[in-house]
Chain A
């Protein structure tokens, strides 16, 4: 088991290196972070630009910069090298990438975790209901909304949810927040008030992000459950004289959950992608907006920081899913 985990982690290293390298090259090729300085009016002295370029390591070739970013070996300033825990300088003023990303990470984690949990829970329940009552009105309605969710692009769904939230606030007396992860005065709140502030800000973005993930999982859960329900061992379980409830819970659901576990891991990465769009629409100061801002500022090291964080998250989620798979299904053994 431990050997398996170590082997899996070793395999992810080249994947992460390849992913970061290609992204680095792409961001680097997308534009010049210093163009604002170069074309500033009144003109900025050449020495200033040169100094800024040196500070950002822009005076070195791309490959060397990637090497620097990865190891930090070959310079004396000691502010770069991800393997040493240093994120590198940012093009966005004096921003400290490490501090910025750790603040934003917690904010995004809140959204992604809530959305993934709700999406999974709801999807398993409705998927199972759909399968047990196949072709009933309930199934058809759920199927309709499932496909609707699959078909809707996140940015549009986010806009609709936001509109719906505003409408509800005006007509139903609800108090959903439509902008930001917290109120401007959050830093002054305490206890229950602070908690409710976070929750009210979470509702609409979570709903958006949840619906996109939910649709796919519920379809998958339905198919998986149907396959199990039509299997011979369910028929034998019924032939043994087990009550329907026991057959459903102990034999059908238990087995039908196994393939969904894999999908749940993929949902985490899908939620991270969705968070980029959702955070933009709801103006959250999270990882998603961090990424879009950094791309707009040609901030290669900041984009890399996002990539490392999300990469570790996705790899971790997949590893947990695979280990869970082994726990749920005795046919799979890691040794």
Chain B
């Protein structure tokens, strides 16, 4: 249980009221709408949410890796130093040095025309004034740490000669290269086979132990979150809708969306009669958000106030758990089945999808 054992001086990353907008031909895409979170030394923070909820964009904004068209406001401080608004040259001294990032797709994350040893040594040389041979030795050492066999030989391999899991380990090794304080892992296991995922998570853990870095783990895989993170942020439509210690949020969610997410997770320990409870509908368009709470069109306990007024994050528990729901008190002790209809009769479910204006969403049998 994480109950804020660290004093505030241990604050590594403070993101406050971060907003990211993309002007497009169809209008302004509000990708991130006022997100705040903190990352402390040694901590693992999970950010979960479905595609398009703004979880990747918010961390790319911190790294300064968004396209120039993005309009970013708010604040992101690394150990008290503001990152937003820094020039690209200044940011490049922070990137890969203080904050490192791991991306989703290992198959495309490495340059096809350089050896992995070169790409690793390059990361070392970007921030350290050491001879090239030293950088190469460090590259081999890093490959060894993330569990790549025969690192001396493998360093001379090109990415296309390695499997997806191996390549993701190389990417993790690159992130470790300069002992960063913060590692942001953006869906590090999503593109990989289930069997390889565990190995990559292991490599990620050894990277964390080796560097002592705090980590932000962005994922939509709640299973990965449960086993790894200390605190979790749930994002929906560009906002945090619930945050708190992982046990708090998983066992006592106080926002219907979190409850719905947990209810749609298949469980190994469930009985055969246990049914999943899908959330009907799709996330709202980020160009044209509904008034009030963005989850209101899909929410089973929606009330008139939800459409009029967007709830702020209310403090709902002891351990700093926050939830953005007007009716968070009603959710104490609630189970997913209390709110969401399970997939009992498929015809009924299909009909309810059609009522919600989703003609093509035919759910699969999920027992």
A236 touching B122, Cβ below 8 Å: no
Task: State whether the Cβ of B222 lies closer than 8 Å to any Cβ in chain A.
Answer: no
Nearest chain A CB to B347 CB, angstrom units:
43
B112 touching A330, Cβ below 8 Å: yes
B103 touching A236, Cβ below 8 Å: yes
B95 touching A240, Cβ below 8 Å: yes
Number of A-B contacts (CB under 8 A): 75
B108 touching A232, Cβ below 8 Å: yes
Nearest B-chain residue to A243, judged by Cβ: B92
Q: Number of B residues contacting the other chain (C-beta, 8 Å)?
A: 31
Nearest B-chain residue to A242, judged by Cβ: B126
B112 touching A331, Cβ below 8 Å: yes
Point out the residue from A244, A254, A331 that lies within 8 Å of B160, measured CB to CB.
A331
Query: CB-CB < 8 A to B171: which residues of A?
Result: 236
Task: State whether the Cβ of B250 lies closer than 8 Å to any Cβ in chain A.
Answer: no
B92 touching A244, Cβ below 8 Å: yes
Point out the residue from A236, A238, A239, A328 that lies within 8 Å of B113, measured CB to CB.
A328
Interface positions, chain B 75-118, Cβ under 8 Å from A, are 88-89, 92-97, 100-101, 103, 105, 108-113, 115
* Cα distance, A156 to B114, chains bound together (Å): 45
* Cα distance, A244 to B93, chains bound together (Å): 11
Nearest chain A CB to B312 CB, angstrom units:
33
Nearest chain B CB to A321 CB, angstrom units:
17
Nearest chain A CB to B81 CB, angstrom units:
16
* Cα distance, A208 to B63, chains bound together (Å): 47
Point out the residue from B96, B113, B160 that lies within 8 Å of A240, measured CB to CB.
B96
Q: What does the 1/0 interface line of A220-254 toward B look like (CB < 8 Å)?
A: 00000000000111011111111110000001001
Nearest B-chain residue to A238, judged by Cβ: B65
Interface positions, chain B 3-27, Cβ under 8 Å from A, are none
Task: State whether the Cβ of B327 lies closer than 8 Å to any Cβ in chain A.
Answer: no
* Cα distance, A242 to B92, chains bound together (Å): 6
B123 touching A255, Cβ below 8 Å: no
* Cα distance, A232 to B94, chains bound together (Å): 19
Task: State whether the Cβ of A329 lies closer than 8 Å to any Cβ in chain B.
Answer: yes
B95 touching A241, Cβ below 8 Å: yes
Say yes or no: A240-B112 contact (C-beta < 8 A), given A235-B103, A331-B158.
Answer: no
* Cα distance, A236 to B113, chains bound together (Å): 14
Point out the residue from A235, A236, A238, A329 that lies within 8 Å of B112, measured CB to CB.
A329
Query: CB-CB < 8 A to A237: which residues of B?
Result: 111
Nearest B-chain residue to A234, judged by Cβ: B111
Nearest A-chain residue to B125, judged by Cβ: A242
Nearest chain A CB to B173 CB, angstrom units:
11
Query: CB-CB < 8 A to B177: which residues of A?
Result: 240
* Cα distance, A235 to B103, chains bound together (Å): 9
Task: State whether the Cβ of B139 lies closer than 8 Å to any Cβ in chain A.
Answer: no
* Cα distance, A241 to B158, chains bound together (Å): 21
* Cα distance, A233 to B110, chains bound together (Å): 5
A244 touching B89, Cβ below 8 Å: yes
Interface positions, chain B 310-341, Cβ under 8 Å from A, are none
Nearest chain A CB to B86 CB, angstrom units:
13
Task: State whether the Cβ of B142 lies closer than 8 Å to any Cβ in chain A.
Answer: no
Q: Which positions in B face A, CB cutoff 8 Å?
A: 63, 65, 88-89, 92-97, 100-101, 103, 105, 108-113, 115, 122-123, 126-127, 158, 160, 171, 174, 177-178
- Other contacts beyond A239-B63, A240-B123, A241-B94: 11, CB < 8 A: A232-B108, A233-B111, A238-B95, A241-B178, A242-B126, A254-B113, A255-B111, A328-B113, A330-B112, A331-B112, A331-B158
Q: Which positions in A face B, CB cutoff 8 Å?
A: 231-233, 235-244, 251, 254-255, 258, 328-331
Q: Which 3 A-B pairs have the closest CB atoms?
A: A241-B96, A240-B96, A232-B108
